[in-house]
Structure 1
Amino acid sequence: MKIPEKVFNTLFFLPIVIFLASQAYAGEPVKFTFTSPESKVVFEGSSTFHDFDGKASEISGFAEGDIENLEDTSKGTFEVKVVSMTTNHEKRDSNMMEDMAEKLFPVISFNLTRIAILKKPASESDHYLVKISGELAMHGVKKDIAFPATMSLSDKAINLKASVPLSLKDFDIKPRTFLFMSVKDQIKVDFDLTGVRI
């Protein structure tokens, strides 16, 4: 039985088109944006008599890279507006804004410089274990930091989770004393960033 010419051409060229399209997609970077409702940044600290925690509500940023070659192509940044940080204690929050000089330095930012894959997911429901390196800018001071994180990745979304210890002194932040209570130097920042593909 003779195959019609149009059908033959379709059957012949379709695999080639699919192959070329898949190769183009594999080599192209994909971009994800982080937004406040889906992403969370919380911080924990200690003072003379008790511990406290807080959160930031205004978060933005992006992550970009070739999914097949993350270590060599990844880049990204995320920002937190200082004014959106709160510990649900009016006086402490007011002191925090002054200590961080919010009017002069309204944004805390992190710029990714490298991502190293420590462990690949064993299944589609598993996550990557990665080491993230970059520059953190806070209170007018820039500092290179690196920390482990878990990363979940799909065609439509990315999620990054990590816990990062920080020293306030490293960023020239000197918390004031209030009613004989002073904030200790070490804080812990936990972030859970979810980005959607654009």
Structure 2
Amino acid sequence: MSVRPADRRKAAMRAGARVAFAVLCTAPGAAGARATEAPLKFKILPVRSSVRFDARATGHTVHGVTQQVSGEVVFDPEDLAKNARVTLQVQAATLNTGNKVRDRKMRESHLETERHPLIGFRSSKVEAIAPSLREGETQEMNVSGTLSLHGVDRNIVFPVKAVRRGGDLLVSGETTLRMSDYGIPVPGFLFVKVQDQVKVMFEVVAAPDGTGS
């Protein structure tokens, strides 16, 4: 049975289309389009962020806070476990409890801020319940890393909640530290004694790098 010229032309066109599609799919540009997007970088905004602590003492609780928080968060929104990293720094001398005498003693005798001006955290691993964090989503995760405090580096895990909202990234969490683990003398005077354990809380807002101040 002979094949009509028109049928041959149609078959040739279909074959050509398949070849063109295959070439496009294997081209460098197409591979890049299918590949995971580059990780996003967010810069922490001090004016919208804070680190707080609660230290229980005899008869009361001492509350401290600072907004002198800086750092960045980098992550792939489609794969949180890949290339995610968090760096955060706090100016130790800016921690404020609302009592000038107590603050001076805290800075000079306990945190020794002239010798150890920065409190820092650098992540080493991010473990999330779900793999992604897209705009409008909330995600719970554990962020492991190294906390540098009072000249001592210790591994720690922060349970955190992250939310992407209006283009910004909101991250909050809390943990409990022991002052003695970091060589910090536990404050105490006469009948007033501060507990070794201190509750640390943070709320940071980060904007896409280059858009915030």
What residue number does 2:39 align with?
Answer: 29
Structure 1 196/176 Cα, relative in aligned 2: closer, same or farther at 3 Å? same
Is residue 107 from structure 1 mapped to residue 139 from structure 2 by the alignment?
no
Determine helix, strand or coil for the equivalent of 1:71.
coil
Given that 1:26 and 1:67 are in contact with CA atoms closer than 8 Å, whether structure 2 keeps it comes out as: no
Structure 1 72/189 Cα, relative in aligned 2: closer, same or farther at 3 Å? same
CA RMSD of aligned residues (A): 2.8
Counterpart residue identity of residue 131, structure 1: N
Find the aligned partners of 1:156 and 1:123 in 2 and give their Cα distance: 10
Structure 1 126/24 Cα, relative in aligned 2: closer, same or farther at 3 Å? closer
Of the three residues 41, 45, 50, the one matched with 1:40 is 50
Given that 2:73 and 2:87 are in contact with CA atoms closer than 8 Å, whether structure 1 keeps it comes out as: yes
Of the three residues 41, 53, 57, the one matched with 2:67 is 57
Find the aligned partners of 1:189 and 1:171 in 2 and give their Cα distance: 14
Is residue 67 from structure 1 mapped to residue 77 from structure 2 by the alignment?
yes
Among all aligned residue pairs of Structure 1 and Structure 2, give the percentage whose two residues are the same amino acid. Answer: 26
What residue number does 1:84 align with?
Answer: 94
Of the three residues 138, 142, 148, the one matched with 2:153 is 142
Is residue 180 from structure 1 mapped to residue 191 from structure 2 by the alignment?
yes
Structure 1 unaligned runs (5+)? 1-15
Structure 2 unaligned runs (5+)? 1-24
Determine helix, strand or coil for the equivalent of 2:81.
helix
What residue number does 1:159 align with?
Answer: 170
Given that 1:129 and 1:151 are in contact with CA atoms closer than 8 Å, whether structure 2 keeps it comes out as: yes
Which structure: larger Rg?
2
Given that 1:110 and 1:136 are in contact with CA atoms closer than 8 Å, whether structure 2 keeps it comes out as: yes
Find the aligned partners of 1:34 and 1:97 in 2 and give their Cα distance: 25
Given that 2:142 and 2:160 are in contact with CA atoms closer than 8 Å, whether structure 1 keeps it comes out as: yes
Find the aligned partners of 2:191 and 2:79 in 1 and give their Cα distance: 53
Given that 2:78 and 2:132 are in contact with CA atoms closer than 8 Å, whether structure 1 keeps it comes out as: no
What residue number does 1:4 align with?
Answer: none
Of the three residues 181, 204, 209, the one matched with 1:193 is 204
Find the aligned partners of 2:76 and 2:194 in 1 and give their Cα distance: 42
Give 1:90 shift: 1.3
Give 1:22 shift: 8.2
Structure 1 40/122 Cα, relative in aligned 2: closer, same or farther at 3 Å? closer
Find the aligned partners of 2:78 and 2:165 in 1 and give their Cα distance: 12
Superposed CA offset, 1:123-173 (max 9, x none)? 964410111101000000000001311111368321111011111111011
Counterpart residue identity of residue 72, structure 1: K
Counterpart residue identity of residue 85, structure 1: L
Find the aligned partners of 2:40 and 2:91 in 1 and give their Cα distance: 26
